[in-house]
Structure 1
Amino acid sequence: MSEQPSSAVRGSDDPEYAANLKRATLAASVGSALEYYDFALYSLASALIFGKIFFPGLGDAAGTVASLATLAIGFLARPIGGLFFGTLGDKLGRKWVLMITIALMGGSSFLIGVLPTADQIGVWAPLLLVFLRICQGFGAGAEQAGATVLMAEYSPVRRRGFFSALPFVGIMLGTLLASVVFVGLGQVPQEALLSWVWRIPFLASILLIGVAVLIRLRLQESPTFVKLEKQEQVAHNPLGEVFRRSTPSVLRGIGLRMAENGGSYIYQTLAITYVSKLGVQTSVGPLAVAVGAILGLVTIPVSGALSDKYGRMRIYRIGALVQLALALVAWPLLSTGNAVVTVVVIAISYGVGVNIMLGAQCAALPELFGSRHRYIGVAVAREFSAIIAGGIAPFVGALLLGWFANSWIPLAVYVIVLTMITLVTTFFTPETRGRDLTLLGDALADSSQEIAARPAPQTSSFRDHHDTERPVAV
Structure 2
Amino acid sequence: MAEPATPTRPSKKTLFVASLVGTSIEWYDYYIFGTAAALAFGSVFYPKFSSAAGTLAAFATFAVGFVARPLGGAIVGHFGDRIGRRSMLVLTLLLTGGTTTLIGVLPTYAAIGVGAPVLLVLLRVLQGFGVGGEWGGAVLIATEHATPRRRAVYGSFAQFGVPVGVLTSNLAFLAVSGLADEEFLSWGWRIPFLLSVVLVVGGLLVRTRLRDAPEFTKAEPARRAPFVELVRTQPATLVLASLASIAPPAIGYTVTVYMLTYGTTVVGFDRTTLLSLILASTAVWIATIVVAAVASDRFGARRVYVLGAVTAVLWPVPMFLLVDSGNAALAFVSFAVAALVQGIMAGAQGALFTEIFAVRVRYSGISIAYQLGGMIGGAVTPIVATALFGASGSSTAVALYVAALALVSLVGVAGLRVRRPASQQETPDLAARPPA
- Range class of TM-score, shorter chain: 0.7 to 0.9
2:236 paired with 1:260 = no
Alignment of 1:133-144 (within 5 A): 133-144=124-135
- TM-superposed CA distance for 1:238, in Å, is 0.4
Q: Which has the larger radius of gyration?
A: 1
- TM-superposed CA distance for 1:55, in Å, is 4.7
Which of 146, 151, 154 is equivalent to 1:155?
146
Aligned to 2:387: 399
> Could you tell me whether the CA contact under 8 Å between 1:224 and 1:437 is conserved in 2?
no
Aligned to 1:326: 315
What secondary structure is seen at the aligned counterpart in 2 of 1:114? Answer: coil
CA distance in 2, matches of 1:105, 1:256: 25
| Closer, same or farther: CA 199–239 of 1 in aligned 2, 3 Å | same
2:357 paired with 1:369 = yes
> Could you tell me whether the CA contact under 8 Å between 2:95 and 2:127 is conserved in 1?
yes
What secondary structure is seen at the aligned counterpart in 2 of 1:233? Answer: coil
Aligned to 2:293: 304
Q: CA RMSD for the aligned pairs?
A: 3.0
CA distance in 1, matches of 2:411, 2:391: 29
CA distance in 2, matches of 1:241, 1:413: 37
CA distance in 2, matches of 1:437, 1:222: 17
| Closer, same or farther: CA 311–433 of 1 in aligned 2, 3 Å | farther
What secondary structure is seen at the aligned counterpart in 1 of 2:326? Answer: coil
CA distance in 2, matches of 1:123, 1:426: 43
| Unmatched runs of 5 consecutive residues or more in structure 1 | 1-13, 443-470
- TM-superposed CA distance for 1:128, in Å, is 2.8
Aligned to 1:421: 408
Show CA shifts across 1:385-436 (max 9, x none).
Answer: 112222211222233323433152x344334333333333343322478513
| Closer, same or farther: CA 157–407 of 1 in aligned 2, 3 Å | closer
| Closer, same or farther: CA 219–59 of 1 in aligned 2, 3 Å | same
| Counterpart residue identity of residue 142, structure 1 | G
CA distance in 2, matches of 1:272, 1:204: 22
CA distance in 1, matches of 2:48, 2:81: 46
What secondary structure is seen at the aligned counterpart in 1 of 2:422? Answer: coil
| Counterpart residue identity of residue 361, structure 1 | Q
> Bigger shift: 191-200 or 154-163?
191-200
> Could you tell me whether the CA contact under 8 Å between 1:295 and 1:347 is conserved in 2?
yes
> Bigger shift: 41-50 or 365-374?
41-50
| Counterpart residue identity of residue 179, structure 1 | N
Q: How many residues align?
A: 427
Aligned to 1:353: 341
Show CA shifts across 1:334-368 (max 9, x none).
Answer: 443322211111221x2111210111112101211
Which of 362, 365, 370 is equivalent to 1:382?
370
> Could you tell me whether the CA contact under 8 Å between 2:151 and 2:351 is conserved in 1?
yes
Show CA shifts across 1:141-199 (max 9, x none).
Answer: 11112212222212232111111102211211111111111211112244544444433
CA distance in 2, matches of 1:407, 1:116: 36
Alignment of 1:64-103 (within 5 A): 65-103=56-94
Aligned to 1:180: 171
| Closer, same or farther: CA 49–417 of 1 in aligned 2, 3 Å | closer
CA distance in 1, matches of 2:100, 2:383: 25
2:430 paired with 1:435 = no
Show CA shifts across 1:305-344 (max 9, x none).
Answer: 1100011122122223333443464344344332221111
Alignment of 1:241-320 (within 5 A): 241-271=229-259, 273-276=261-264, 277-320=266-309
CA distance in 1, matches of 2:225, 2:49: 46
Aligned to 1:16: 8
| Unmatched runs of 5 consecutive residues or more in structure 2 | 1-5
